[in-house]
Structure 1
Amino acid sequence: MRIGWKSFTLGAVAGAAGALFAQKAVTSSPTVAAEKVLARVKEAFNKEGIIEGSWIQMKPEQYQKLGIDTTVYKGGISRRRDGELEQYEFIADASTGTIMDVYRLS
């Protein structure tokens, strides 16, 4: 059985396209919705004081710490605790929604 060069070329192109599609499917990781991450942070903060305001960047961004690269959401929250306004910023992993860091601003 002989395979012509046209059949071979068509098969090679189809195989390459399939490999490229499979690679994109494996390497692209879905992200948790930014609104879900913010709701999780607000739920945690609400236990210790009344929330005055909150925000989150809707578009995830690359973040590097200690040589580890990941995609994150950044956001902030302010609350009243014992009559005093406290402001915090947070960093959350975009693929899992896990809060990676929280720090007080004021």
Structure 2
Amino acid sequence: MKLRDFLIGVATGLAVAVIIKETTEQVAPYKPANKVLENIKNEFKEVAPIDGSWIFMKTEEFSNGVSTVPVYRGGISRVTDGNTETFEFAADARTGVVVDLQQV
């Protein structure tokens, strides 16, 4: 096998890998976690000021018994009437829609 043929094979393999990666990201892209958190915080701010918030940057699978979707998990705390309320949420990683919200 000639060196030229080997290098052509390596270059072709790399090009195909890049194309596949870009295609899969376009088919099912995830919203950035910080944007999802910002949208959820804006919704909470309409009711009361936010005291703190957090979000896991990696997705995990969430099942509601019917379907399974990739979600970001996070939480928000706020103070209303002198009491601290803490909420944990799961937001769809593709759309940013909250699929589960629980007061802790």
TM-score range, shorter-chain basis?
0.7 to 0.9
Unaligned runs of 5+ in 2: 1-15
Q: How many residues align?
A: 88
Taking the aligned partners of 1:40 and 1:89, their CA distance within structure 2 comes to 15
Deviation at 1:49, TM superposition (A): 1.2
**Is residue 86 of structure 2 the alignment partner of residue 99 of structure 1?**
no
Q: CA deviation at 1:101?
A: 1.6
Q: Distance in 2 between matches of 1:80 and 1:34?
A: 24
* Aligned-partner SS, 1:78: strand
TM-score, reference length from structure 2: 0.73
| Percentage of matched positions with identical amino acids | 39
Tell me which structure has the larger Cα radius of gyration. Answer: 1
What do you get for the CA RMSD once the two structures are aligned?
A: 2.3
Q: Deviations over 1:25-66 (max 9, x none)?
A: 358511000001100111011111121100000011111121
Could you tell me which of 13, 23, 26 is aligned with 1:25? 23
Deviations 1:49-85 (A, max 9, x none): 1211000000111111213111000000000011110
